[in-house]
Amino acid sequence: MAEPSTIALRAFVAVAEHLHFTRAAQSLHMTTPALSQQVHRLESLLGAPLFVRSSRRVELSVQGTELLPLAKEAIDAVDRIQYWSNKRLEKVLSVGFVHVGAPDRLAGIFTEVPERLDGARLEFRHIDRDTILGALRDGSIDVAFSWGPNWFDGVTTRTLSTAPRAVLFSANTSRDLIRSSHDQISITQLSSMPFLVPASADERYTSWALADPRPDGSRPKRGPRVHNLDEALAMVVTGLGVCLVPEPVAQAIQHPGVFWATVNDIPAVTFNVCTWQRPASSLGDRFARLVSAEFAQDSTEPDALDAGLPRPAAP
């Protein structure tokens, strides 16, 4: 049997999603007769009707319902191959970020990428910390920027800078606590408060993120789990817990319901660039070495750790 064409599969999926040949044709920028022809060819090739047609509506047949997820998988695979090919030929550098609040120096480096990396084009993606390894391994990103320690096999992690850690808490938290902090606070002052727990499968990372155990050997009170910073902010605002973040991340937050203070008695956090252990000539590795060199030159600059955004005023 001849293999179905990607064009025919796209035509089938479009009709399956719209259940209307004209609208499906419009979505693919095809004429309705051309789309109908592709669907008929696919039905003839597979020897099965894919739609039940009437004068009033179009519905998927039993065979069409069975084929739909397979067709979507096939189209997705072709699209990924095309993306890989374009990325290889166009020199696309895919950059992943776990959090906002990256040091300002990165902006200047990013503007220099086309000139210094043979005309490479930049793409940016938000990623979860636990997906860094898989995204680097399968090539969906070339580099990842992250805060905090990494224990990823096969990943090269370069530390670029360090920053203090800060605690986010509701602006409705005790005014006495806020006023006495003077923009800094001890982790022991927060011992009665629940700390939001990052939803990571890596318990070592979770313990680090909670500063668990504390300098005095005590253990934090664990609160709800959060998957990202947006969830954390929502829970902080409603008073469900407090959250430890790198200070530059706190500086980048502009929310009237959130106050933050630097924690002065727990270790600083590292800002890292991560790459998969590919050949040294790979685009991601070249970029990581470029970033490392630039940060090494600027390591004494006071603004290297500053996101440049004003701190929310205490209520």
Give the pLDDT confidence score for residue 137 in this predicted structure.
87
Copy the structure tokens of residue 123: 């793409």
Q: Where in the chain is the domain with CATH 1.10.10.10?
A: 6-88
CA dist., res. 150 & res. 52, Å (int): 54
Other C-beta atoms within 10 Å of 275: how many?
22
Q: Where in the chain is the domain with CATH 3.40.190.10?
A: 91-151+273-305, 165-267
Does the pLDDT at position 287 exceed 60? yes
**Average pLDDT for residues 120-144, to the nearest whole number?**
90
Percent of the chain with pLDDT over 90: 57
CA dist., res. 174 & res. 29, Å (int): 60
Kind plus residue range of the DSSP H or E element containing 168: strand 165-170
Give the pLDDT confidence score for residue 309 in this predicted structure.
30
Give the pLDDT confidence score for residue 87 in this predicted structure.
66
CA dist., res. 254 & res. 270, Å (int): 23
CATH of domain 165-267: 3.40.190.10
Top-confidence residue, 309 or 138: 138
Q: Which of 3, 8, 12, 7 is nearest to 67 (CA)?
A: 12
Burial of 128 (0-12, 13-18, 19+ CB in 10 A): middle
Question: Class for domain 6-88, per CATH?
Answer: mainly alpha
pLDDT band at 97 (very low <50, low <70, confident <90, very high): very high
Does the pLDDT at position 15 exceed 90? yes
DSSP string, 133-157: HHHHHTTS-SEEEEES----TTEEE
**Average pLDDT for residues 260-277, to the nearest whole number?**
92
Homologous superfamily of 91-151+273-305 in CATH? Periplasmic binding protein-like II (3.40.190.10)
CA dist., res. 311 & res. 72, Å (int): 47
Copy the structure tokens of residue 289: 């070495």
Q: Which of 300, 269, 124 is nearest to 205 (CA)?
A: 269
From the centroid of its chain, how far is CA 160?
Answer: 20
pLDDT digit string, tens, across residues 159-203: 999 999 999 988 877 555 655 445 788 998 888 899 999 999 899
pLDDT band at 307 (very low <50, low <70, confident <90, very high): very low
Three-class SS state of 169 = strand
DSSP string, 231-256: HHHHHHHTTS-BEEEEHHHHHT---T
